[in-house]
Amino acid sequence: MVDSQYYLPNDIGVSALHCGEAFHLLSPQEKMYAHYLSRAAWYGGLVVLLQTSPESADIFVLLQRIFRKQTPAQLEQVATAAGLSSEEYQAFLVYAAGLYANMGNYKSFGDTKFIPNLPKDKLKALVRASQAFQDQPAEMEALWDSCSCLLYSLENKQKQLGLGDKGITTYFSGNCCLEDAELTQKFLDSKVNCTVEGECESCCGSFNFEDKEFTVKRGDYGPLMEKVCSYLQQAQTYAANDNQRKMLEEYRRSFTFGSVDAHKEGSRYWIKDKGPIVESYIGFIESYRDPFGSRGEFEGFVAVVNKAMSERFARLVSSAEVLLPELPWPKEFEKDTFLKPDFTSLDVLTFAGSGIPAGINIPNYDDIRQSEGFKNVSLGNVLAVAYATQKEKLTFLEEEDKDLFIKWKGPSFEVQVGLHELLGHGSGKLFVQDDNGKFNFDQSKMMNPETGEVVSSWYRGSETWDSKFTTIASSYEECRAECVGLYLCLNKQVLSIFGHEDKDAEDVVYINWLSMVRAGLLGLEFYTPESKSWRQAHMQARFVILRVLLEAGEGLVGLKEVTGQDGKPDARITLDRSKIHTVGKNAIHRFLRKLQVFKSTADVEGGRALYDNYSTVDNGGAHDFLRLRETVLLRKEDRKMFVQANTRVSGDSVELVEYEGSAAGLIQSFTERFQDDAEQLEADLLALRKRDAPCWC
């Protein structure tokens, strides 16, 4: 029997991400703009296959070839004739949908491998019986042989993404360890980014660094980037203003020449494009899945503004300068001026990449965020679907909390996302000494509030938050933002902005905090005891917060192991709502100040010691977290998968093509998404995979 965490259950939630209402309100020009941006995003999103695992691209092509010839409904008869039961065929459809939704065979949330929940010989029989195999037996046999072993492999290293012995990664070659990654980062920090075509020679070639030879080449993902640039160029024709046109021009330059500086320049124009009807962002953005925490995974999104919800976020932005001083660190540790960002609620039309978040705060370039600004985005139609909860699937809560939880989970999460993105990621100053020796703070007088002494460390030159804090940077920053959300949701003004007053406001606070401590317990699913490592930044952050609030004592949080009604191990988590504003607030105040001080002062040693301590999962102390992890795995519910629409140009207009919320609907959306140039695209993906293959030996 395979451990259930390594396959997707047949009854996994699959929901259509509805955006028809918002899309149909767009003008013809806006629809064209959205269409070509979406096409760019979808083709760029295929890069994630190559960024995830050595076998992901081959599996994707195998599935595409099968489903291009036969729809899921047509293939079902073939499956039955090949000896598959209806449950086994459904398991195959769920696996295929999972690969498309995660853009690879590792879960985007948790980085765990998933394999088909049917015997390998049954899947092989289905592949061989398919029309695609009948039409091209030699090619399909070769494709099956190239990926079938890894498709099912659950050797220890194959079970999760990671560096060296801890897992699989395609960000580094198979022989790289943490020391190699650290040396590589030092080398990269020493190089100036290539910005224009004429400077190619300065960043490509062979270099000697600390007695090691580094060879720098360009051209990764070339055929895919060419498609992205082509569609971005077509989108430019329909741009609403010069900022959008210049933004897209810089993105094209970035993807053509591999220039980070060009992408930063495009991001500057993006920030200046205030309140667009069609919002988008594209590029190598989030570094969660690089085991070293530095390289960005490709993503691209296109979304339409939800005006009613955006008005609430605009009021939150207007209140930001009043709320920032409420945060528990000295004003010198806050940015010199708060650059009011755009903060909009969007209905997603397209989100290409490994997964879809509920909120985004971008760009991730610290120098731009600190001095020029950023944008906040809340994805309204994602929130509406992702956090709808059925009572019978609500684990680890007391019965009397469940109805309240279901009623207020959505509204409370909306508050948390707003605070997390705007005042969490948007707050706090980094102390920097630039390449010219100039400081952005008074280093002779700046006092560290934790030690009472003058600040003795800071960021120097090209150092960034990610390059300094590396492996803990993503999770640490998510934890800081989550703590800001918990802390400021206690503010009545904040609750009033979101329309919550009196008893309702207190219920929102209670469920927000209860949801956080429950999420901390659920986070144990994403911890790997064998390597003592966390596989998901947000869930590690929530576990850390649970530990902090348990440590606060005084009966604030209760966590006990019990036996469930089914006779199997279970757990109950409780929160004393009368102590949130006192014991809870004080605990978060103390912890959040520490997080910010270590971050501001680039104190990696202090920050890592603090964060690693609270991230520890063991069986010592008052709670056996290793045993609780087994209980969490026993009762876990897999995250929903989203079926997204396609757009299609028909004459002078753009059609929106929507699909049913099922595994078959998700599969159909992907086969139709790339039908215009399917054979060439699949050949390109296989060639790119083959080019990288020597790195994994």
pLDDT attached to residue 119:
96
- Considering the domain boundaries, does residue 292 fall inside one? no
**Burial (CB count within 10 angstroms: exposed 0-12, middle 13-18, buried 19+), residue 331:** exposed
Does 585 share its domain with 678?
no
Tens of pLDDT, residues 216-232: 988 999 999 999 999 99
pLDDT attached to residue 4:
81
Does 401 share its domain with 537?
yes
Does 94 share its domain with 162?
yes
- Considering the domain boundaries, does residue 408 fall inside one? yes
Q: What is the DSSP string of 597-624?
A: HHHHTT-HHHHHHHHHHHH---S-TT--
Strand 557-563 and strand 205-209: the pairing is unpaired
Band of residue 63 on the pLDDT scale cut at 50, 70, 90 = very high
- Per the annotation, does 35 bind a ligand? no
Lowest mean pLDDT among 183-197, 333-347, 417-431, 543-557: 183-197
User: 559: which strand partners?
Assistant: 573
pLDDT attached to residue 392:
77
- Considering the domain boundaries, does residue 356 fall inside one? no
Task: Domain count for the chain, please give it.
Answer: 2
Does 691 share its domain with 609?
no
Closest CA to 508 of 518, 517, 499, 520: 499
Q: CA 560, CA 562: separation in Å to the nearest integer?
A: 6
- Considering the domain boundaries, does residue 162 fall inside one? yes
- Contact 474/303 with Cβ under 8 angstroms? no
- Per the annotation, does 538 bind a ligand? no
Does 630 share its domain with 522?
yes
Q: Considering only residues 389 and 287, tell me which one the structure prediction assigns the higher pLDDT.
A: 287
Q: CA 462, CA 467: separation in Å to the nearest integer?
A: 9
Average pLDDT taken over every residue of the chain: 93
Band of residue 193 on the pLDDT scale cut at 50, 70, 90 = low
Phi, psi at 694, each rounded to 5°:
-60, -20
Lowest mean pLDDT among 9-13, 105-109, 340-344, 439-443: 340-344
Across residues 183-192, what is the average pLDDT? 86
Evaluate if residue 594 carries a pLDDT over 60.
yes
Q: CA 158, CA 178: separation in Å to the nearest integer?
A: 18
Strand 14-16 and strand 641-643: the pairing is parallel
Evaluate if residue 155 carries a pLDDT over 60.
yes
Residues whose CB falls within 8 Å of the CB of residue 651, separated by 6 or more in sequence, listed in order? none
Evaluate if residue 49 carries a pLDDT over 90.
yes
Tens of pLDDT, residues 279-324: 999 999 999 899 998 899 999 999 998 877 788 888 998 999 899 9
Phi, psi at 578, each rounded to 5°:
-75, -15
Does 531 share its domain with 666?
no
3-state secondary structure of 363: coil
Evaluate if residue 246 carries a pLDDT over 90.
yes
pLDDT attached to residue 23:
94
Q: Which of 601, 620, 635 is the last residue of a domain?
A: 635
Band of residue 200 on the pLDDT scale cut at 50, 70, 90 = low
DSSP conformation class of 5: G
Band of residue 369 on the pLDDT scale cut at 50, 70, 90 = confident
Domain of residue 52: give its range.
Answer: 43-170+659-695
Q: Which two tokens stand for residue 256?
A: 């053509």
- Considering the domain boundaries, does residue 321 fall inside one? no
Across residues 452-456, what is the average pLDDT? 95
Q: Is the dihedral of CA 224, 230, 233, 235 positive or negative?
A: negative
CA distances from 42 to 3, 65, 366 (A): 33, 18, 27
Does 522 share its domain with 476?
yes
Band of residue 196 on the pLDDT scale cut at 50, 70, 90 = very low
Band of residue 338 on the pLDDT scale cut at 50, 70, 90 = confident
- Considering the domain boundaries, does residue 134 fall inside one? yes
pLDDT attached to residue 588:
98
Tens of pLDDT, residues 395-442: 999 999 999 999 999 899 989 999 998 899 989 999 999 999 999 999
pLDDT attached to residue 278:
96
- Contact 56/65 with Cβ under 8 angstroms? no
Closest CA to 440 of 426, 454, 458: 458
Does 562 share its domain with 678?
no
Q: Considering only residues 547 and 376, tell me which one the structure prediction assigns the higher pLDDT.
A: 547
Does 625 share its domain with 667?
no
Q: CA 53, CA 174: separation in Å to the nearest integer?
A: 11
Tens of pLDDT, residues 491-541: 999 999 999 999 999 999 999 999 999 999 999 999 999 889 998 999 999
pLDDT attached to residue 195:
46
Q: What is the DSSP string of 631-673?
A: HHHHT--PPPEEE--EEEEETTEEEEE---SSHHHHHHHHHHH
Across residues 660-674, what is the average pLDDT? 98
**Backbone angle region of 447, left / alpha / beta, with phi > 0 → left and psi within -120 to 50 → alpha:** beta
Residue with tokens 């959505």: 410
Does 561 share its domain with 676?
no
- Considering the domain boundaries, does residue 358 fall inside one? no
Phi, psi at 369, each rounded to 5°:
-60, -40
Q: Does a cis peptide bond (omega within 30 degrees of 0) precede residue 363? A: yes
Across residues 438-467, what is the average pLDDT? 93
User: 562: which strand partners?
Assistant: 570
% of the chain residues with pLDDT over 70: 98
Across residues 368-385, what is the average pLDDT? 85
Does 422 share its domain with 557?
yes
- Contact 544/472 with Cβ under 8 angstroms? no
Closest CA to 487 of 411, 543, 416, 572: 416
Q: In the chain, how many H helices and how many E strands?
A: 27, 17
Catalytic residues: 421
Does 618 share its domain with 666?
no
- Contact 529/617 with Cβ under 8 angstroms? yes
- Considering the domain boundaries, does residue 182 fall inside one? no
- Per the annotation, does 672 bind a ligand? no
Phi, psi at 346, each rounded to 5°:
-120, 145
